[in-house]
Amino acid sequence: MSPKIAIIGAGIAGLACAEALSASGAHVRLFDKGRGPGGRLSTRRVSTEIGEASFDHGAQYFTARDALFARHVEDWSRAGIVARWPEAGADAWVGVPGMNALPRHLAQQLDIAQGAFVRGMARKADGWHLLLEGSTAGPFDHVVVALPAEQAASLLGLSDLAMARAAVRCPSEPCWAGMFAFPEPLAGPPILRDRGPIAWAARNSAKPGRQGPEAWIVHASPAWSRAHLENPADAVAAALLEALAQAVGTALPPPLSCVAHRWRYARSGDAGTGFLWNEQLGLGACGDWLGGPRVEQAWLSGHQLGGAIAAAAFSTDSRVGAAAR
Ligand SMILES: Cc1cc2nc3c(=O)[nH]c(=O)nc-3n(C[C@H](O)[C@H](O)[C@H](O)COP(=O)(O)OP(=O)(O)OC[C@H]3O[C@@H](n4cnc5c(N)ncnc54)[C@H](O)[C@@H]3O)c2cc1C
């Protein structure tokens, strides 16, 4: 009988894991607290008086250096889901028309419960059960935790102390993201790097396939973001708009939209193990923190864990494909 597997987190790692497991015939259900799939690979749309502005406020672009990932990226490119963005680098890719096009594409064939915040999980005699807000789900044969390290640690703590410790040892850096729309184009290049509090600023509307008003995304540096972590979003947006004006070197037109989003867990560490899999418990973990702070590493982590679980679950010799720990 096909194993039933729950994946907590429908970011790129959870989606890649689900795709690999579904391809092997497993029954997979994802649970994500957000309104849509993608996590930090996301696009926000904001109404303005001259039309809808769109902002990739998490990952700006992704690389495809690994041969397996590069083959998938070529397939997505042929399907019009992703395109190159040469301004950011020779190996830079973006989703089209927004970064969230890729997770949406991957999510199409998957069973995902959105708005499903997982508070806890427990292994009972009949399998794994998830504790959601106001309900439970289960039993499942296996559970995968596909969350940023800090959030993974709090769920893993009661089940596998070694996994939880690995996550605790991999703290993330925060990032404040400012999103600004203007009635006319700003002067200068489409990408600015390392200007005072700004680590990265880019004309979002210069990416391939984007429509709508002139839209800029500004990412504050980790140090600035940490120092202003608990500040109100309005004050942060105003400060980042001022920093953008300084970086561009001219007065900016009055913005049509000026908002900020706080990524508490933006840039992961790198535990260096790729993924974690405790075959005895039927418990796995994947995500960027296991392979490096990039979309590519998050996808590889999920894909590899999915392959390892499938090998263990469908093998007559249950030791095959065991722990990468
Ligand atoms: C500001 C910023 C800029 C970045 N720039 C780049 C870049 O230019 N290039 C690049 O390659 N990478 C970049 N990254 C990193 C990249 O976005 C991540 O490495 C990658 O998206 C991580 O994917 P993930 O699936 O591991 O985690 P996530 O995308 O964080 O997915 C985790 C999911 O779990 C869900 N979740 C969390 N807790 C729970 C819970 N208790 N119950 C249910 N669901 C839960 C969340 O809603 C989320 O959807 C950037 C990230 C940020 C934030």
Domain range summary for the chain, segments of one domain joined by +: 4-42+100-170+269-314, 45-65+173-267
265 CA closest ligand 1 atom index: 53
Specify the residue with its C-alpha closest to ligand 1, atom 10.
Answer: 294
pLDDT computed for residue 106 by the predictor: 98
What was the pLDDT predicted at 325? 36
Same fold, 4-42+100-170+269-314 and 45-65+173-267: no
Distance 315 CA to ligand 1 centre (A): 32
Cβ-contact 174, 266 below 8 angstroms = yes
Residue pair 216/190 in contact by the 8 Å Cβ criterion: no
CB of 146 sitting under 6 A from ligand 1? yes
Any atom of ligand 1 within 6 Å of the Cβ of 175: yes
DSSP-derived pairing of the beta strands 198-203 and 214-220: antiparallel
- The pLDDT, as a whole number, for residue 316 is 43
How many A from CA of 236 to the centre of ligand 1?
Answer: 21
Alpha-carbon separation of residue 295 from 79, 173, 188, 256, 279 (angstroms): 19, 16, 28, 30, 26
3-state secondary structure of 272: coil
* Ligand 1 centroid from CA 184, angstroms: 31
Tell the CATH topology of 45-65+173-267.
Answer: Polyamine Oxidase; Chain A, domain 2 (3.90.660)
Give the distance (Å) from ligand 1 centre to CA of residue 10: 9
What is the pLDDT at residue 318? 41
Nearest to 72 by CA among 296, 307, 305: 296
Q: Please report the sign of the dihedral spanned by the C-alpha atoms of residue 66, residue 315, residue 23, residue 37.
A: negative
Shortest-distance atom of ligand 1 to CA 118: 42
Among 12, 52, 61, which residue's Cα sits nearest to residue 219?
61
Characterize the bridge pairing of strands 4-8 and 142-145.
Answer: parallel
pLDDT at 174: 98
Q: 0.85 exceeded by the pTM? A: yes
> Is the minimum distance from the CB of 62 to ligand 1 under 6 angstroms?
yes
Query: Can you give the pLDDT at residue 315?
Result: 72
Name the 3-class secondary structure at 147.
coil
Cα-based angle 106, 28, 57 (whole degrees, multiple of 5):
35
Q: How many Å lie between the centroid of ligand 1 and the Cα of residue 108?
A: 19
To 5 degrees, how large is the angle CA 172–CA 174–CA 176?
A: 160
pLDDT (tens place) for every residue of the chain, 325 residues total: 789 999 999 999 999 999 999 999 999 999 999 999 999 999 999 999 999 999 999 999 999 999 999 999 999 999 999 999 999 999 999 999 999 999 999 999 999 999 999 999 999 999 999 999 999 999 999 999 999 999 999 999 989 999 999 999 999 999 999 999 999 999 889 999 999 999 999 999 899 999 999 999 999 999 999 999 999 999 999 999 999 999 999 899 999 999 999 999 999 999 999 999 999 999 999 999 999 999 999 999 999 999 999 998 887 444 333 333 3
User: Using CA positions, which residue lies closest to atom 19 of ligand 1?
Assistant: 294
How many Å lie between the centroid of ligand 1 and the Cα of residue 225? 17
Q: What per-residue confidence (pLDDT) applies to 317?
A: 40
CA of 1 to the centre of ligand 1 (A): 33
Beta carbon of 46 within 6 Å of any ligand 1 atom? no
Ligand 1: does its nearest atom lie under 6 Å from the Cβ of 174? Answer: no
Q: Which amino acid is at 248?
A: V
- Give the pLDDT score at 1: 76
The Cα–Cα gap between 260 and 19 comes to 33
Query: Domain 4-42+100-170+269-314 belongs to what architecture?
Result: 3-Layer(bba) Sandwich (3.50)
Nearest to 88 by CA among 67, 65, 62: 62
